[in-house]
Structure 1
Amino acid sequence: MRVAVLSLIEAAGPDPGALRGYLPIGGRSILRHQIGFALSLGCKRIVVMAEGISGELVALQHVVERGGAQFHVVATARALVPLLQPEDDVFVLGDGLLAMPDALRDLLEAGPVLLTLPVETALPLGFERIDINSAFAFAMRFPGRVAAALADLPPEWNAQSALLRLAIQARISQRGVPAALLDDGRWAIVRNEEDAHRAERRWLRLHTDVAGAGARAPGGAMAIAIVRRFGPAMLHAGTRPALVGLAAGLVGLLGGGMGWLGNFATGFVLLGIAWLIERVASLLGQVERDSLLASGLARRSVAAFHGLIDVGFVVVATWRSELPNGPGLAWGLSAFAPLLLVLAARLVPLALPGNRWAHFLQDRLLMGLFLALASVFLPFDAMVGLCVIAMIALCLFLLQTGADIGATRDPAKPPPNPQLTSRQ
């Protein structure tokens, strides 16, 4: 059985009532982050070293039990002995350790290991010295039989320090944590509220370092900036991604209502803003999933919501159209060009996946602003038709010539049309 041993002992600063494990990162305690990681490893028993039961520990017990694991709170190292069987696979995370789950998993999954850091770098950051050259990186993995000697130690010994000494005596192999993890904030000890605020900003930045051309489009970049600036406040206030997504839906309905009332430009802008709010909600949800604070399943409603936004653009553009309607004219004529516009905006990024400019067409905030301006200052139907022609013509040109305007293609890969781009 895999067992996780966590700690809730060390004080967070001069106040003995404030504990490191309770310091919040992204609206959740550090101990909650560690529990999420332990559950992701498949740990079936999670033991927290703490001096007493609190309301938050009871809430965390419910989280653990929903994850299919047992939850125990013990106060002394000796009380830990009956919970660690010789055949168990034991994971120990130190008090206040905040590490990116992927980095921590890569270092621990290889087998029994005691993770270390260089003394000169680690000691000023709060890590514990092991020997003249190494410091304990606050994470280790060892067989359960190593912990049997806890029964022979004095009861006042700190459990984490005792397990560390026993692992060293058992000659558990040591492995260094790359210094780059410390430099960019993927591995840190959070000792007080000041450390927590600093670590939280780095944590959110790392989780929103979204790759891909879509993230460089104005709307995507704005969503990332909003999450980095206001995400901590929203998460600390208990604003979950689903609530932000609900707000996006309400703004989208308001945009449709404004279009129905004849305020077309406002309707287009509100639809674009609804898309932006939904991107913020998706980013917050992705942050929680990557941090193992929520289910690994992405919200299935995202694709449906984007489809509804596109439907909203088509409907409002149809209402805005100045094409005549009446007997003898094709039904739905005024919706034809807006429908082609939305379909082309979806098709071109699929046809040109490595082209940065093509992914700008996925930015519905830009589309909403463009349609709003066209609705007020330009011949609306003509501009929509010209945009459709321009998108399809540019897509055909790039596909046929293999041109790399704005492309982010890997240079090691062959061009999309080698027979047209060969120099032989």
Structure 2
Amino acid sequence: MLAGLIFAIEEAEDRPGMLAATLPFGGMTLLEYQVRLLAGAGAEQVMVAVGRMTPQLVSAVNRASRPGVSVEIVRSAEEASERLDYDTRVVVLADGLVTTDSVIDSMASEHGEALLVTNDPNSPAAIERLDMRDSWAGIARVSGGQLGEIAQMPEDYDFQSALLRVAVQAGAEHVPLTTSWLRGGHSVELSAAALATRSNAVLAALTERRTSWADRWIFTPIARLALPELTRRGVPGWAPLALGAVLGVAGVALAGWGWEGTGMGVTLAALAALVTAAAHASLTGDPARASAIETGVFALVALATLVLGASERIASGEWTPAVLALVAVAAQLLVERSRARPRRWWSSPSALPLLLAPFAMAGWAVAGLGLAAVYAFATLAAAVETNREKA
């Protein structure tokens, strides 16, 4: 079993009386974000170690609870150990820790004791010295039994420092903090202003996972600009999703009624809204919703392409546009199902409408469909060849 332990003791540096764990981050509190990361890694139980209770903390804990994950407040290692089996794996997050799901997943995936460390004492992730070379970088993996060991210490111990000491004495593996994890926003922050900056860094790391040229140069920058504003204004995650759905229906309908250029332009706007919604879902620790939105993106692109082909078939009286649209969609579907790692130049669901829209607006939709079919088929051939090389 995997469990989580989050420290929520320190006060915010720029908001006296307010715990750093309850500061806003990505449209929620930092504590809620941490709980969602742990839940995404498979934690079934999350404990929040506190020194004092505040109304904001209680509210954050209540909001963070979700089906399949219990969130409980504890005041000591003794309370925490009583709630866990001896051999339970426990992923520990430091007070004020900002990180990403890839870091949490890496630390949670192995067995045995481990400490995430940095050899740079001036790093924004460096918290406490472990030896002459390494400092703790905010994440530890321990066992339920080790929490029980801390519970036997004198009452005046510092919970977090004692946990580190026990892990070091047990020969915990030192896992180096990588440059990519730092670039993704991994750090420890105790001020609202710093958390706002780190929130943007985490957003950048989440949106950069979309690797195709269309996402990297068009849709990802849009999501990166939109999300901080949405979260700052408290706009719910369903809003960009609803906007994308409405614009998607409108774009497909316009293309079907013969307004092909306008319809494809509206479809591009729908894709921008959906990509933003997917990034928001990833930020809030809801990978299932993000994956569902990605599926919706492909469905919208496929429908818009097929409707464009059908509209051209009706206008010209020939089957060529419909066949080209079908080939483009079928080839892209096979690419999506391929296990090959996508390359930057490959076709993608977001690339096809970018290719089709200029031709449709210029009245050359058939040429655009032909180019899209060739592009998707060439990508499929490259994916097949990549799979053969791996085999």
* The two structures share one fold, judged by TM-score above 0.5: yes
Alignment correspondent of 1:207: 206
SS in 1 for 2:4: strand
**Cα pair 1:271 1:312 within 8 Å, conserved:** no
Q: Is the 8 A contact 2:31 2:60 kept in 1?
A: no
SS of residue paired to 1:66: coil
Aligned twin of 2:67: 66
Structure 2 counterpart of 1:306, from 301, 305, 312: 301
1: CA distance, partners of 2:301 / 2:272: 11
Instruction: Give the letter for the 1:46 counterpart.
Output: V
Q: Which runs of 5+ in 1 are unaligned?
A: 324-332, 375-382, 415-424
In structure 1, distance between residues paired with 2:352 and 2:375: 18
Residue 143 (structure 2) aligns with = 143
CA distance in 1, matches of 2:276, 2:148: 49
* Native 8 Å contact 1:11 1:18 kept in 2: yes
Count of residues in Structure 1 that have an aligned counterpart in Structure 2: 380
In 1, Cα distance between equivalents of 2:334 and 2:114: 48
Q: Is the 8 A contact 2:278 2:289 kept in 1?
A: no
Determine whether 1:248 maps to 2:244. Answer: yes
**Aligned 1:105-254 pairs, distance under 5 A:** 105-122=105-122, 125-169=125-169, 171-181=170-180, 183-185=182-184, 187-210=186-209, 212=211, 215-217=212-214, 221-254=217-250
**Retained in 1: the 8 A contact 2:22–2:60?**
no
Q: How far did residue 226 of structure 1 move? A: 0.6
Distance in 1, matches of 2:136 and 2:40, equals 23
Aligned to 1:356: 345
Quick one: distance in 1 between partners of 2:41 and 2:387?
Answer: 37
Give the aligned residue type for 1:23. Answer: L
Residue type of the alignment partner of 1:369: P
Amino acid at match of 1:60: V
1:37 touches 1:101 (CA, 8 Å); kept in 2?
Answer: yes
Alpha carbons of structure 1 residues 60 and 359: separation in structure 2 relative to 1, 3 Å: same
* Secondary structure of the corresponding residue to residue 291 of structure 2: coil
Alpha-carbon distance, 1:225 to partner: 0.7
Take 1:370 and 1:52, find their aligned partners in 2: how far apart are those partners? 61
Distance 1:188 1:208 in 2: 19
| 2: CA distance, partners of 1:292 / 1:361 | 23
Quote the offset at 1:247 in angstroms. Answer: 1.1
Q: CA 1:177–1:25 in structure 2 vs 1: closer, same or farther (change >3 Å)?
A: farther
User: Given the two structures, how large is their TM-score scaled by the length of structure 2?
Assistant: 0.79
Unmatched tracts of structure 2, length 5 or more:
336-341
Is the alpha carbon distance of 1:10 and 1:413 closer, same or farther for their aligned partners in structure 2, counting shifts above 3 Å?
same
Distance in structure 1 (CA, Å) of the matches to 2:349 and 2:70: 48
How far off its partner does 1:173 sit? 2.0
Query: Any idea what SS the aligned residue of 1:356 has?
Result: coil
* Contact 2:251 2:304 (C-alpha < 8 Å) held by counterparts: no
- For 1:355 and 1:116, locate their aligned partners in 2 and report how far apart those are by CA, in whole Å: 32
3-state DSSP of counterpart to 2:65: helix
Alignment of 1:79-94 (within 5 A): 79-94=79-94
**SS of the counterpart of 1:295?**
helix
How far, CA to CA, are the matches of 1:25 and 1:236 in structure 2? Answer: 9
Give how far 1:314 is off. 4.1
| Residues 252-293 of structure 1: CA deviation (Å, up to 9, x unaligned) | 3444565688755434422333334333334444x34xx634
Residue 237 of structure 1, CA deviation: 3.4
Picking from 359, 362, 365, the partner of 1:370 is 359
Conserved 8 A contact 1:267-1:316? no
Q: Please state how far the C-alpha of 1:9 moved relative to its aligned partner.
A: 0.8
Instruction: Kindly state the Cα deviation for residue 13 of structure 1 after the two structures are TM-superposed.
Output: 0.9
Identity between Structure 1 and Structure 2 (%): 19
- Supply the AA of the counterpart residue of 1:57: V
Shift of the alpha carbon at 1:10?
1.0
Superposed CA deviations along residues 363-388 of structure 1, whole A, max 9, x for unmatched, are 214412321122xxxxxxxx444555
Aligned to 1:278, what secondary structure does the other structure show? Answer: helix
**Structure 1 residue 12 displacement after superposition:** 2.0
Cα distance, 1:41 vs structure 2: 4.2
Q: Give the CA deviation at 1:175.
A: 0.9
Q: For residues 236-261 of structure 1, give each alpha carbon's deviation from its aligned partner in whole angstroms, at most 9, with x where no partner exists.
A: 43445543232123223444565688
Distance 1:341 1:89, change over 3 A: closer
TM-score (norm 1): 0.73
2:6 counterpart SS class: strand
Distance verdict in 2 for CA 1:387–1:201, change over 3 Å = closer
Residues 46 and 241 (structure 1 numbering): CA distance in 2 closer, same or farther, change over 3 Å? closer
User: Equivalents in 2 of 1:257, 1:122: separation in Å?
Assistant: 56
Provide the C-alpha distance between the structure 2 equivalents of 1:84 and 1:411, rounded to a whole number of angstroms.
44
- The aligned residue for residue 326 of structure 1 is none
Shift of 1:79: 4.0
Pick closer, same or farther for the CA change 1:100–1:315 going to 2, 3 Å.
Answer: same
> What is the rounded CA distance, in whole Å, between the counterparts of 2:231 and 2:216 in structure 1?
20
| 8 A contact 2:47–2:73 mirrored in 1 | yes
Are 1:268 and 1:368, in contact at CA under 8 Å, matched by a contact in 2?
yes
**Aligned-partner Cα distance in 2 for 1:386–1:305:** 21
Q: Which residue of 2 aligns with 1:10?
A: 10
Q: Which residue of 2 aligns with 1:275?
A: 271
Mark the CA change 1:80 to 1:264 in structure 2 (over 3 Å): closer, same or farther: closer
